[in-house]
Amino acid sequence: MAKTKQSMEKPIWLKMSEEELKKIIVELAGKYQPAQIGLVLRDQYGVPTTKIFGKKLAVYLKEAGIDTKAELKNVEAKVERMKEHLKANVTDKIAKHKLQKAQSRAIKVRKYFEKRWF
């Protein structure tokens, strides 16, 4: 039996409009990363998913002009921390290998965002 996509209907307990949701998302974007915004919306505001209004969270953030490349920022920060560590600890071969892996991941994430976002 083939699975069909169920339409997302607004739950009866949710008294929030789409405009109110947009305002809350913009507020939360200043404090949290996108993955955490979804959890806060669910736990504190009772919004099971932003898809009930027809758009994903990333679309709301993009419409508001908010940069959602948190993963890229985190990877680049890790590379910088590892470089600083290696300046002080030149003979740390394990850290050197991990730096190479982190740089590789940074390149992959950068390419991903160039293709898929903005």
The ranges assigned to domains in the chain are: 18-63, 70-116
Q: Is the pLDDT of residue 5 over 70?
A: no
Instruction: Answer yes or no: pTM beyond 0.75.
Output: no
Cβ proximity of 72 and 110 under 8 Å: yes
Q: What is the pLDDT of residue 1?
A: 43
- The larger pLDDT score, comparing residue 117 to residue 79, is at 79
Reported as a single tens digit per residue, the pLDDT across 10-40 is: 777 778 788 898 899 999 888 888 888 989 9
Average of per-residue pLDDT values in the chain: 85
